[in-house]
Amino acid sequence: MHLHAELTSQLNIIKPEEELLLQMRKATRYEIKKGIKENIKITTSTDEKDIQKFYDLQIETAKRQKFVPFSYKFLHEQFKIFAENGNVLLYKAEFENKLLAQAFIIFYGREAVYHYGASTDEGRHYPGAYLIQWEAIKEAKNRGMTRYNFWGVAPEGNSDHRFAGLSLFKRGFGGEDFQYLPAQDLIINKPKYLLNYIVEFLRNRLRGL
């Protein structure tokens, strides 16, 4: 895996659901209530076969939003391993049998992580993605977890960052930014390190980092 988020948005979910809703951005709270009112259907799956559908939707999303998606093999193996102990759910939002959005959520230890997401072009006009997050937050609370990690967000003011488009969505749920220590390299072979550095630099440029 070549990319881990150094800056994430994390939500303390110990509070009652009513308080969590109140601390959200007004627009986020509105979208959740709108999704419930419009009877958007949220379902979950632990079936490995559904990873192919999620991957296909991620490819569609990647083309639309211009980012490099993870491979099917990576997604499948990750899902398979976490599913062995019931630590992953694949969420799906639908309206009148039309697919709107999907999300890959990991539940581990005291934390739930919004690891990957994807949406249809039509789904952008519905609050399905908001409702998925709310249902995942409630599931995490039911499992006794204390934190919901929305994963990567862009630094404030960095409109060119890969996560810039998602950051407003994620921060709208009322979480706080958490900065991790950047990875440190111990150089063993300088020529090979330089080659790897160039490859990583080009990959990051392609990803919009």
The 10s digit of each residue's pLDDT in 34-48 is 999 999 999 999 999
Q: In 10 A of CB 166, how many CB atoms?
A: 20
Tell me whether residue 159 is in a domain: yes
pTM over 0.85: yes
Tell me whether residue 64 is in a domain: yes
Print the domain residue range for 130.
7-182
Tell me the C-alpha distance between 57 and 47, whole Å. Answer: 16
List the CATH number of the domain containing 93.
Answer: 3.40.630.30
pLDDT digits (tens, 9 = 90+) for 85-138: 999 999 999 999 999 999 999 999 999 999 999 999 999 999 999 999 999 999
**List of residues 6+ apart from 69 with CB closer than 8 A:** 55, 58, 59, 61, 62
Tell me whether residue 133 is in a domain: yes
Q: How many domains, the chain?
A: 1
